[in-house]
Structure 1
Amino acid sequence: MTDQHRVPPQPGGRATRFPVKRRVVLGTAFAGGAVATAGLLLRPWQSDPAAGTDETGDGRVHMQIVAHPDDDLYFFNPDVAQCIRDGKPMVTVCITCGEGDGRNGPDTEEQDYESYVAARYNGLRAAHADMTLKKPLAEWTREKLKFKAGPTAELATLKSEPRIQLVFLNLWSNAEKPGVKGRRLKQLWEGETDEHETLVPAASPIGKKYGYDRETLLKVLAELLDRYNPVVVRTMDPDPDAQEHDAANPRYADQKGYSDHEDHTPAGLFAWEALRSWWKDGNGDNTVVESYRGYYGRRWPRNLSAKARKDKGRTMNVYAWRDERECGDPNGCGDLNITGKGVGTAYGASTTYRYSGDTGWLRRTGDKRLFAALVRGGRAVQWLEPESGSDETNSFSLVGTDLMLPSLNTCTSGAGVWHTVGVTAAFTEEPGSHTRNLLVRDFTFTGATGQWRSLGNPDADRKGRKRRGVGMPVAVAVGEGRLLVAARNYDRSVSVRHRTASGSWDDWKHLDGPVVQDGLSAVSLKTDTADIFASAADGVVQWHRDGGSWDQSTLDTVVPAGPPTAVALPDSRVLLLVREAETARLFGYVGDGSEDGWKDELDLGGDGGVGSIAALAPKSWSGRVGIAVRNDAGTVSVTVLDTKRDKKPKWRDGGPVIVHMPSLALDGTGRLTAGAIDADGRLHLARQAQPGIGAPENWTVVAR
């Protein structure tokens, strides 16, 4: 959250607070104090360092890398809370201390940066203790963490649940102050400043300030990745949306021209570059990455259900010290600059993934074996079922070496030929040198494994930062050997590129239409036609291609909470699925693809959740459709909808807490099969007990 702009007052006002007292350094403000050397200190939850195991099982750690001390609460939750409840070891790394103007609360006149930072850290520790134990005042051990790169940070460990840790690097958010060396995180990333100092918070175990340059911060983050070897890493958004600021869209605390805080973007870039370096050194082959939108959430309808907002809001209330608890630190027990109750009415009411998770990653080969195309360790990998219908495990195989963003989409053009599309990235300190290029891989399971080919970037002829606005691509076959690839562009509309029957590619074409969210869906009902769907602020936008021409219309749906999903039915109709804003309920619309050919909406219910929707309509199912979504518990909800009957389907919830989105396919025996990546980075499958009957059940690990 913003470190120098207070959140505008929101409905509900602000509860009366105890006044924040003048800072007094307490000798009992922290426990511990032993100097720890990164790479040598035993993780506090480990029981046997030689064996490399720990008390929680296999030690698969989740790491959050954030700019400010409340970013994981605002932007990554409910995901963090779900994984804490699931027992995962969790470490959050705060790069800057978020000192703001040094005043804790709108009514505070006295400026004290060190005291305000201490209060924010107290609030974050309390919030994590509350998510873990429902005890905001639970005790923490606070100690020094010395890095080989030079600086020392604070390591805070929840005493009764040592799997929960916080690391505070303490860089000034805005070092352009008298007597302080440095500027902002953006200038540090771009190499415009060679020293950026840290702040020493009140009552901190860190006794002096340190200096960072760009390489030092990258080395420190790499040391932390080495120390924890995380299986899941969550980052800020390195590629924020363009945003025109005007009377209708006030700037608030956005950076100029973009919909996010100026510290969030370089925090995301530093995290991704540290990961790239770590992976290059042969580490983290199984690591899964998720990046989250920041202030983007205030520009779009709220996507969390009422229950999810309440749960997230409880944690925010603890951080903001709304319970007026007495924590024993006169610096303050939370951040009084957070006004309004719970998640508020701005960005806290949504959780949005920057690289919108695709649901088209689980498919079936010509010999009836399932396969999955995913990104792990920053590279494209593939899993293949050992035998048709088998729950035996098999390893992932590497099918790409370039750094890939987290989501892949796979489709077939028939005759056993498959096509996977994704985005490769290079993060550079020079703003104009970044690359975000779309790639396509054509492959079979009976011949060549397939090479990746660059499709360039829809905004390749524009300035470097504008090339970073590309979304996650989708592909659809529009005839034998012909392929259409679509992606959101910098202008927040849609661009397409078409491969002809001869194998040559047309140039990128920008389609006219309104601003839409990322997360496209595409279907083709007959040769040389295609329909692309995306969510706008007030409905779902449809682009229809017939031959070489495109028409665009906005469909009258519920206000979308996120990406829509379209699936072709056997009778040449389309089922369009949309989550509703504010409720996260699922609604369906059946039509023939024409603007006026959509049937009345179907209220499909569901159990909340965010993200893309998986759907599968096998030809043999006569209009029945399998549907799978990520729900409010972070697990998977699955149902089978009969589009020919006006009856609300029954949902089956279960399986592991997951990352990314679920996917659906028919296995070799004809059973509907759901796939998901669990919070330990493992591939799970669940299958119907009998073909065509009931929802998939009995989740089983098939790849680690």
Structure 2
Amino acid sequence: MNGDWLLRGRDGRLSVYLPSGDAVLCRAERGPGRPWGAPRRIGGDQRLHPGFAVGHGADGYAHLVAWRPTVKGESGLVHSTHYRPHLAALDWQPIGHPAKKGEVTGAPAVAVDAQGRAHVFVRNRGRGVSMVAQKEKGGWDPWRDLKGRLVEDGLAAVTGESGRVEVYAAVPGGIVHWRQEEAGKPPVLAETVETPVRPGTLAALATSPESTTLYYTDEAGDLCAWRPGDRPYTLLPSAGPGPVAAVRCELDGHDCTLLAQRSASGRVAFAAYPTQDEPAGAWWTESGPQLPADATVALVRDEDDRVTAASLSPSAGQLLLTRRKDEEGLALEAWREI
């Protein structure tokens, strides 16, 4: 999965998007803070390749993208919009292939701009980055080649507070950043930074009206933060492999960024620090039971603005959830299976 698979919908309900063989499932609260319903298949009966991406707009709508087999030896990308967590999503609709036809080229990433248009990014056959975006009045623009060279799989797409879309990619010995200069225009190559990045560890978050912050693990195993226009900052040793989950929240009256990651011990580790003030320091605190090796973690704020964390293990079929208690600090309720 790529993107925030734990979301708060327009009606305040939380929902999760789950891989299940050749399908994507959705589970949602029956109402804000109420028990959860049974899983439901997203987008009809089409068979999908493993792996999908989720983007979330300011309007609360979820946009999902996945690869599906087309003819023998070829695949294409499909898109679905989910307007309400408790309602059926739209059927999967084809959006093509960056080279018109061919096999899977990389995991997609999705960001949704201020006008509610999905922007889909994927590594292309030449190991650059290609994108396709929704038109404002329906349909899709043509595929565009954003260039790039030796791009690793695992793009991170994000929408800034400005409503404009950005995308980050790891390359050997560095990170490349594309950014929309104007709404509705394709992102352009904005900056490249040299840094020893581990592919597959990128995660991005909007952290101010002007900037987004990229989190990644370097080759030494440290978790780093980078805002274009500045130098990467080593925040703390990574708790475990894979990308972190990140969310902005208020802790004891301060605007903070909360990070979560499955730790090497198998539990969920949390770290918080004042947003964009990495030198203030952060440290991990572990919570919950030990999780299988394939478990991932997601963060969101619920309808009452409480931080909610979820962990998902596809191999065990286990989905756990906790919420922040109504008290100072980052005290969490007991993890429970849903």
TM tier, shorter chain?
0.7 to 0.9
Residues 359 and 664 of structure 1 are in contact (CA less than 8 Å); yes or no, is this contact kept in structure 2? no
Give the equivalent residue in structure 2 for 1:453: 93
Counterparts of 2:68 and 2:196, CA distance in 1: 34
Shift of 1:542: 0.8
Does the 8 Å contact 1:615/1:664 carry over to 2? Answer: yes
Deviation string for 1:10-58 (max 9, x for gaps)? xxxxxxxxxxxxxxxxxxxxxxxxxxxxxxxxxxxxxxxxxxxxxxxxx
Equivalent residue for 2:203?
A: 565
For 1:96-148, what per-residue CA distance to the aligned partner results, in whole angstroms no more than 9, with x for missing partners? xxxxxxxxxxxxxxxxxxxxxxxxxxxxxxxxxxxxxxxxxxxxxxxxxxxxx
Tell whether 2:269 aligns with 1:637: yes
**Could you tell me which residue of structure 1 aligns to residue 247 of structure 2?**
616
Aligned to 2:259: 627
TM-score of the two chains, using structure 2 as the length reference: 0.86
Offset from partner CA, 1:654-676 (integer Å, 9 cap, x none): 43424252211112332211212
Shift of 1:371: 0.1
Q: Does 1:375 align with 2:1?
A: no
Alignment of 1:25-44 (within 5 A): none
User: Which residue does 2:75 correspond to in 1?
Assistant: 436
Partner of 1:652: 285
Which SS does the other structure have where 1:698 is aligned? coil
Take 1:422 and 1:480, find their aligned partners in 2: how far apart are those partners? 22
Match 2:48 to one of 395, 404, 411: 404
- The aligned residue for residue 681 of structure 1 is 317
The 1-side partners of 2:323 and 2:46 are apart by 33
Q: Which secondary structure state, in structure 2, belongs to the residue aligned with residue 617 of structure 1? A: strand
- Give the Cα–Cα distance (whole angstroms) in 1 for the partners of residues 109 and 41 of structure 2: 21
Residue 489 of structure 1 and its aligned partner are, at CA, apart by: 1.6
Cα separation, partners in 2 of 1:487 and 1:644, compared to 1, 3 Å: closer
Q: CA separation in 2, counterparts of 1:647 and 1:622? A: 13
- Note the residue ranges of structure 2 that are not aligned, 5 or more in a row: none
Percent sequence identity is: 24
1:516 to 1:365, Cα distance in 2 relative to 1, 3 A: same
* Alpha carbons 1:672, 1:695 under 8 Å: kept: no
Report which of the two has the higher share of helix.
1
Specify whether residues 478 and 556 from structure 1 end up closer, same or farther in structure 2 by C-alpha distance, changes over 3 A only. Answer: same
Normalising by the residue count of structure 1, what TM-score does the alignment of the two structures yield?
A: 0.43
The amino acid of 2:236's aligned partner reads L
Preserved contact between residue 359 and residue 662 of structure 1 (Cα < 8 Å): no
User: Matches of 2:50 and 2:270 in 1, distance apart?
Assistant: 23
Work out the CA distance in 2 between the residues paired with 1:483 and 1:605: 34
Amino acid at match of 1:490: R
CA shift for structure 1 position 378: 2.1
Describe the shift of the 1:409–1:617 C-alpha distance in structure 2 as closer, same or farther (beyond 3 A): farther
What is the letter of the counterpart of residue 272 of structure 2?
V
- What SS does the corresponding residue of 1:546 show, helix, strand or coil? coil
Q: 1:623: how far off?
A: 4.0
Per-residue CA deviations over 1:217-275 (Å, capped at 9, x if unaligned) read xxxxxxxxxxxxxxxxxxxxxxxxxxxxxxxxxxxxxxxxxxxxxxxxxxxxxxxxxxx
8 Å Cα contact 1:612/1:629 also seen in 2: yes
User: Cα offset for 1:599?
Assistant: 5.0
Partner of 1:668: 303
Q: Which residue of 2 aligns with 1:693?
A: 329
Shift of 1:448: 6.1
* Partner secondary structure for residue 47 of structure 2: coil
Contact conserved, 2:76 with 2:104, CA < 8 A, in 1?
no
Secondary structure at the aligned position of 2:139 is classed as coil
Q: Matches of 1:606 and 1:653 in 2, distance apart? A: 13
**Aligned-pair CA distance for 1:650:** 2.4
Q: Deviations over 1:44-93 (max 9, x none)?
A: xxxxxxxxxxxxxxxxxxxxxxxxxxxxxxxxxxxxxxxxxxxxxxxxxx
* Residues 410 and 578 of structure 1: CA distance in aligned 2, closer, same or farther (over 3 Å): same
Paired positions, count? 328
Match among 558, 574, 577 for residue 212 of structure 2: 574
Looking at secondary structure, tell me which structure has more strand per residue. Answer: 2
User: Does residue 489 in structure 1 map to residue 121 in structure 2?
Assistant: no
Please say if 1:394 is aligned against 2:37: yes
